[in-house]
Each structure stands twice: as C-alpha cells, then as structure tokens.
C-alpha cells in the first residue's frame, strides 16, 4: 500500500475531524521480515510541518489500548495536535525488544539493536515519505511492559529524532544476572539502569512513566513496594541525579488499582496523548 493518507483526503469533506485507520507492510532489511504496521491519522493539515508522529510498540494490541477511539475523541475535542500513530506489530518480541547491544541473562533481547535500526533507519523514513513531510513537528515513541523498555532505550539512543517517550509499566527489571544469583545487584545488573548510569549523554528528552500498585507481588528489596514501582522510580531518580532532565520534564503516574494489563494502561493512555501532543 502506498500513500496511506489517500483515504484521509477522500473523506476530508464531511468528516473533517474523523480519524482514519489503515494497515501496511514494510519489509525490514535489518529484521529480515515483513513488519505489519497499523496506521492511524487525523486529517492531513494544510501545513504538513505541524504533523506529529507517535510510534507504538506492540501494534497488534492497539485495540486493547483503545487507541483509535481515544485519538478520535481527543482530536475532535481539540485536545491533541494533528497526529500520525504507527503501531508496529511485534515479531519475536522477546528477542527484538530489550536494550541494544546487551541481552539479558537468558540471552533474550539479542535482536534489540536490529529493531532499533529498523525504527531509526527504516520506519522513520517510511513515515516521513508516506505522510508527505520533510520533518515531523515532534516524534514520540511509547510501549507497554517489555515494549516500554524498548521504547525508552530507542528514545535514549536517538534524541536527534525523538523528543518524548512514554513507558507504561516498563520492564526495567531486565537484568544480566538472575535475581537468585548471590552476586546479583540492582545497582549493577539492571541493564537499562546500568546503561544510564554509565552514560555521559544529556539527550534532552521528556519522559512519561506509569506503574500500577497491583501489577505484581514481587518485592526484591523487601521494602513493601512492588518491583515495577521501585524500578521505575529508580530510573526517574537516576535521570534527575544525572541532571539530564529537569523535574518538569518527567511525568510519573501511579494507580493504586492498576494491574499489568491493557485494561489499566488504556485508562491512562488519554492522559499520555494529551501530554505528548498538547494543543497550546
């Protein structure tokens, strides 16, 4: 399919604020597979330079996240800017998601660097070409769980293109030693945490994090706070400690009833979209 905005032009009269949805396949040389894309867009603005892009991991789950109805409602209420959302359908997510150049202790995430290259070198040029823009006004990437870890890592690697990142219940526990290993250390063996700690970059990103209090029962440090919350807050505190972002550049949402599921993530997705693409 070429020119996924053609449908938007056909309906622009009489349905000027209606979100359209199409699908496409993009062959990735990096991943050596066809990648299915789920594409949603508001009507194309006359000035294409005001178009924005959101890349979502786990694009096969857009319906569970209620992306279309949320996007449509917020755009009609003039709460968000003109927007293209591309949901990237996952392949082998346990290998393609993770942290670039650093598999976990079970060898998962070996293709994370290839997925990063796909987003940066293949999907991004595709999105610009198909939407008819030379440069998007802003580019945001987001994901849930392991897809959230992937989104965070890709944003950190490419702040020249990406300005904001959304992480819903991110898998910041991802580690290069098993928790049961006697030499395991949260300080040294959580892969993303260690990457940030060793980095000298100041990428200028803005960050949106979410965690739910009922996502799990695991509590490694026995502080009565579940790991998904502890791990997320540790990342936030490290970002602030390293002075790579001001306090106002980070949003953290915590739900006392949130579980590790799209039923909870979809509840906060509208807040995320308004934060990512606000109408000033």
Look at residues 253, 215, 250, 254 and name the one whose alpha carbon lies nearest to residue 236. 250
Q: Is residue 167 within 8 Å of residue 208, measured between CB atoms?
A: yes
Q: Work out the percent of the chain whose per-residue pLDDT is above 90.
A: 84
Q: What is the mean pLDDT of residues 200-219?
A: 93
DSSP three-state, residue 89:
coil
The model's confidence at residue 12, banded by pLDDT at 50, 70 and 90, is very low
Look at residues 14, 18, 20 and name the one whose alpha carbon lies nearest to residue 40. 20
Superfamily of domain 6-276 in CATH is Alpha/Beta hydrolase fold, catalytic domain (3.40.50.1820)
Determine how β-strand 83-88 pairs with β-strand 33-41: antiparallel
CB neighbour list of residue 61: distance below 8 Å, 6 or more residues apart? 87, 144, 262
Dist CA 246 CA 220 (whole Å): 29
Q: Is residue 242 within 8 Å of residue 196, measured between CB atoms?
A: yes
Domain boundaries, the chain: 6-276
Q: Per-residue b/e over 31-65, b at no fewer than 16 CB within 10 Å? A: beeebbbbbbbbbbeeebeebbbbbbbbbebbeeb
Q: Is residue 184 within 8 Å of residue 178, measured between CB atoms?
A: yes
153: pLDDT strictly greater than 80: yes
Query: Which pLDDT tens digit goes with each residue over 141-151?
Result: 999 999 999 99
Q: Is residue 55 within 8 Å of residue 86, measured between CB atoms?
A: yes
Dist CA 211 CA 219 (whole Å): 14
What's the mean per-residue pLDDT of the chain? 92
Place of tokens 């970059």: 201
Query: Which pLDDT tens digit goes with each residue over 62-101?
Result: 999 999 999 999 999 999 999 999 999 999 999 999 999 9
Pick the range with the lowest mean pLDDT from 99-108, 110-119, 183-192, 246-255: 183-192
Write out the H or E segment, with its range, that includes residue 70: helix 67-76
CB neighbour list of residue 13: distance below 8 Å, 6 or more residues apart? none
- Residue 254 phi, psi dihedral angles, 5° rounding: -130, 130
DSSP three-state, residue 215:
coil
- What's the pLDDT score for residue 3? 58
- What's the pLDDT score for residue 47? 87
Q: Is residue 39 within 8 Å of residue 84, measured between CB atoms?
A: yes
Tokens of 274: 């308004």
């Amino acid at each position: 399919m070429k020119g996924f905005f053609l449908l938007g032009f056909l309906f622009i009269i009489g349905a000027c604020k209606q979100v359209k949805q199409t699908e496409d396949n993009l062959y990735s040389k990096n991943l050596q597979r066809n990648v299915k894309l789920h594409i949603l867009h508001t009507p194309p603005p006359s000035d294409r330079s005001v178009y924005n892009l959101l890349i979502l991991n786990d694009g096969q789950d857009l319906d569970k996240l209620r992306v279309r109805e949320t996007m449509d409602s917020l755009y009609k209420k003039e709460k968000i800017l003109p927007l293209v959302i591309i949901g990237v359908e996952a392949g082998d997510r346990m290998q393609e998601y993770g942290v670039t150049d650093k598999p976990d202790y079970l060898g998962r995430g070996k293709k994370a660097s290839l997925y990063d290259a796909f987003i940066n070198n293949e999907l991004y040029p595709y999105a610009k070409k198909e939407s008819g823009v030379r440069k998007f006004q802003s580019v945001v990437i987001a994901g849930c769980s392991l897809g959230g870890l992937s989104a965070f890592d890709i944003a950190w690697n490419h702040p020249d293109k990406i300005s904001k990142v959304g992480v819903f219940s991110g898998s910041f526990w991802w580690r290069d030693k098993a928790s049961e290993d006697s030499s395991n250390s949260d300080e040294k063996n959580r892969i993303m945490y260690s990457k940030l700690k060793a980095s000298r970059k100041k990428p200028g990103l803005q960050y949106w994090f979410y965690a739910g209090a009922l996502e799990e029962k695991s509590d490694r440090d026995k502080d009565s706070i579940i790991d998904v919350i502890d791990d997320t807050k540790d990342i936030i505190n490290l970002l602030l400690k390293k002075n790579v972002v001001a306090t106002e550049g980070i949003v953290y949402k915590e739900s006392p009833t949130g579980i590790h599921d799209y039923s909870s993530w979809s509840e906060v997705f509208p807040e995320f979209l308004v934060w990512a693409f606000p109408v000033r």
